[in-house]
Amino acid sequence: MDLVLLPIVLLAAFLNGYGIWNDPYANSYYTTAVGSMLSNFHNFFYASLDSAGSVTVDKPPVVFWIQTAFAYVFGLHGWSVILPQVLAGIGSVLLIYFMVKPTYGLAAARISALAMATVPVVAAVSRTNNIDSMLVFTLLLGSWFLFKRSKQGSAWCILVAFGLIGVAFNMKMLQAYMILPAFYLFYLLAFQAKWRRKIILLIGSTAVLAVVSLSWAVTVDSIPEDERPYIGSSETNSVMELAFGYNGLARLTGQQNTAGNAGMPNGMGQGNNRENRGDSISGPNQTGSGVPGAGQDVNAPDNDNMNGSNGLNAMGGMNGPNGNFPNGQMPNDMEMPNGRNFGGGMGGMFGTGEKGPLRLFQTELSGQASWLLPVVLLGCIALFAGLRRRNLTNKHKEAMFWLAWLLPVAAFFSVAGFFHQYYLIMLAPPIAALTGAGFVAMWKSYRDRDGWQAWLLPVSVLLTTLFGWYIMQVYNDTIGAGWSISELIAGILITVILIVMLHRTHRWKQSFIIAGFMVMLIGPIYWAFTPITYGGNSMIPAAGPTGSNGMFGGSGMGMPMGSGAGDTEMPTMGGRGGMGNRNEEVDTATLNYLKEHNTGETYLFATTDYNQAAPYIIDEKASVITLGGFSGSDPVYTTEELEQLVKSGQVKYFMVGGMGGRGGNSEISDWIKEHGTEIPTSEWQTGTDSGSADNGDTGNRAGFGFGGQTTLYEVKL
């Protein structure tokens, strides 16, 4: 056993897992779905958001199946749904180690594993229940099968490798296909077989990829719409459309439909075309008979559909006249860092920079995964310096695999119009692997004094530490100038020493080389710790001193630690569940009122805002209906179907309102208001005076600080 690997794994476990027990809801959108999936197989199979099986989440179900299994064993808690991603993050470190070691050696494997463990975005994402950590682990597992058996010509392992990409597709759809160029290239270069057999196997592997990828989507789409949930965030109630539209090309183009605004301020009248809905009005039931759910031209943004040109508009009630916050000021005086960048501004609400070839080096994105790109660049020069056409070694082939993973992904994020910072976890494996392989190659050239190549190592130390200083100095007011200046001085000092020792023999020479690498890791390690030291963000995770300052984030997992250089206290925007999740503790007055006045209805209440349902589903295991998916605007129900639900005695209480006007589509809200009786808040909310809602910290009231108020209606027909 490699004893050096053990502390690296322990570091990864700490970065990924420390404090997850402090996060009661994690990403509440997904945790609510897990709570619903625990209730019956119907909800489990479809990854239903609510107890009624009305609408799915906006991603395929595989990761949520795993999270539900963990919740079944350990109980439904924030930490139990995060734990699979923690383990996946640790597993990714181990897979990188075992993939790099056979070809590049022990030192390269250790460096790669350490680099993978300390990529900041990996730590930030792996401590949430977002999908991406599990996605990367699955892609790496497929890559391991590809590496392991290509040299031996094992057909079965190749089929398994491509099949795992299909499994990954059922985690986050087309994002999984980003590594297909690397798979096909490496297979053609490395698989040991005659070309005829190689081509036949490649066709078969592609067929396996397609079958596994589309198995769930085709199955769901083939089921009549009135027997399954509405496909959340889709426009046509189709998984295939969701996969190749909203979760596919829309990520590149950034063009989102406007239906997410339906029923919201500045979004009235957009979307909600329900003319093609089926005629069935059979209501959902808890045992999983399904609900009617067809529709068209309506799309609710998921928790990562808040960027791009329509990002703010999709959050109705918060946007100004032009879809922006008044005077550019975010609520509660929140601000993004206004640092320098290579030709970039904020580039969207969540700070993804401006499109261009240097986007990954801009302030907005560079702190997530780009720290070691200079050493990767120079390391690749060292790796391919001796390349000859007829001398393509295993080192060259594997380096080409990692480059074929890195370059298309980097190109996509350089031009994409719609993504979040945590998507950059896709860059982590190739960066980590090439860092280890490239640094060792430069180390050998330096040691052997191999002409101009010997200079690559000291130059890489200098450029990487300069880049690290560039990233950190933007945050000097928050973390103090000592960190950036210390890394810069140490990097320059180590560079000078390495240059002086280049043509000399000294027993400390190797120690200074190791020190040079550790200096390059000062920034990444500090950033990887920020979700712990400054607080994390469960819905839109990001590393950095302002990583928890996300509009819809929140976790409360951190240990806020000031540096003395600035105030690190972040504004609170929600209740329990951390900043931005807006899921407050169950209001006991609300719960007691609904239970006491329940006269046999199947569902405790229905709501236009899933955040209102979340704590009741998660904490109380209550049966609750969400009327419109993530944004409240999915055409899940028609007014006729609501009428049937009420008449059949399945539900009578409806909560309308929530996030500054996120009240679902206006047709549904108007029907509830027309046929319902408003219940005075003094009867069902804690700490309220008659006829008014309290803005305190208890219960589901105005919420989110934008003036959105929840109203409870009783509907009897």
pLDDT tens digits for range 118-140: 999 999 999 999 999 999 999 99
Q: Parallel, antiparallel, or unpaired: how do β-strands 605-607 and 624-626 relate?
A: parallel
Separation between Cα atoms, residue 183 and residue 38, nearest integer Å: 36
Q: Tell me the backbone φ, ψ of residue 104, rounded to 5 degrees.
A: -105, -10
3-state secondary structure of 1: coil
Q: What is the DSSP letter of 304?
A: T
Q: Which residues pair with 625 in a beta bridge?
A: 606
Q: What is the pLDDT of residues 466-511, one digit of tens each?
A: 999 999 999 999 999 999 999 999 999 999 999 999 988 878 889 9
- Average pLDDT taken over every residue of the chain: 82
3-state secondary structure of 602: coil
Count of Cβ atoms closer than 10 Å to residue 561 Cβ: 13
Q: What is the pLDDT of residues 429-471, one digit of tens each?
A: 999 999 999 999 999 999 999 899 999 999 999 999 999 999 9
Looking at residue 549, what is its pLDDT?
A: 59
Looking at residue 389, what is its pLDDT?
A: 65
Separation between Cα atoms, residue 585 and residue 618, nearest integer Å: 10
Q: Which residues pair with 230 in a beta bridge?
A: 55
Separation between Cα atoms, residue 121 and residue 422, nearest integer Å: 6
Q: What is the DSSP letter of 453?
A: G
Q: At residue 679, does pLDDT exceed 70?
A: yes
Least confident of 139-143, 176-180, 702-706: 702-706
Q: At residue 95, does pLDDT exceed 60?
A: yes
Between 268 and 462, residue with greater pLDDT:
462
Least confident of 5-9, 15-19, 683-687: 683-687
Looking at residue 247, what is its pLDDT?
A: 86
Looking at residue 301, what is its pLDDT?
A: 37
Q: Where are the alpha helices (DSSP H) in 416-455?
A: 428-447
Looking at residue 266, what is its pLDDT?
A: 33
Q: Model-level pTM?
A: 0.85
Separation between Cα atoms, residue 191 and residue 195, nearest integer Å: 10
Separation between Cα atoms, residue 575 and residue 452, nearest integer Å: 59
3-state secondary structure of 270: coil
The number of helix segments (H) and strand segments (E) in the chain equals 27, 5
Looking at residue 658, what is its pLDDT?
A: 60
Q: At residue 368, does pLDDT exceed 80?
A: yes
Separation between Cα atoms, residue 153 and residue 426, nearest integer Å: 28
Separation between Cα atoms, residue 438 and residue 382, nearest integer Å: 7
Q: What is the pLDDT of residues 582-605, one digit of tens each?
A: 445 799 999 999 999 999 999 999
Q: Extract the tokens encoding 28.
A: 């509440």
Q: At residue 522, does pLDDT exceed 70?
A: yes
Count of Cβ atoms closer than 10 Å to residue 585 Cβ: 16
Count of Cβ atoms closer than 10 Å to residue 189 Cβ: 16
Looking at residue 316, what is its pLDDT?
A: 33
Task: Report yes or no: 606 and 205 within 8 Å, Cβ to Cβ.
Answer: no
256 pLDDT band, cuts 50/70/90, is: low
Q: Strand runs (DSSP E) across 587-685, as ranges?
A: 605-607, 624-626, 653-656, 676-678
3-state secondary structure of 626: strand
Between 333 and 645, residue with greater pLDDT:
645
357 pLDDT band, cuts 50/70/90, is: very high
Interhelix angle 195-222/155-172, nearest 10 degrees: 30
Q: What is the DSSP letter of 468?
A: H
Separation between Cα atoms, residue 479 and residue 491, nearest integer Å: 19
Looking at residue 77, what is its pLDDT?
A: 96
Q: How far is CA 436 from CA 3, 294, 393, 442, 635, in A?
A: 18, 51, 17, 10, 50
625 pLDDT band, cuts 50/70/90, is: very high
Looking at residue 688, what is its pLDDT?
A: 59
Q: Which residues pair with 624 in a beta bridge?
A: 605
Looking at residue 350, what is its pLDDT?
A: 59
Separation between Cα atoms, residue 240 and residue 251, nearest integer Å: 15
Q: Where are the alpha helices (DSSP H) in 416-549?
A: 428-447, 456-473, 476-479, 481-501, 509-520, 522-533
Give which of 93, 205, 92 is closest to 146, Cα–Cα. Answer: 205
Q: What is the pLDDT of residues 20-30, one digit of tens each?
A: 999 999 999 99
Looking at residue 709, what is its pLDDT?
A: 80
Q: Mean pLDDT across the stretch 547-572?
A: 43
Element (H, E) at 182: helix 180-190
Task: Report yes or no: 413 and 194 within 8 Å, Cβ to Cβ.
Answer: no
Give every CB contact of residue 206 below 8 A, 6+ residues apart in sequence.
162
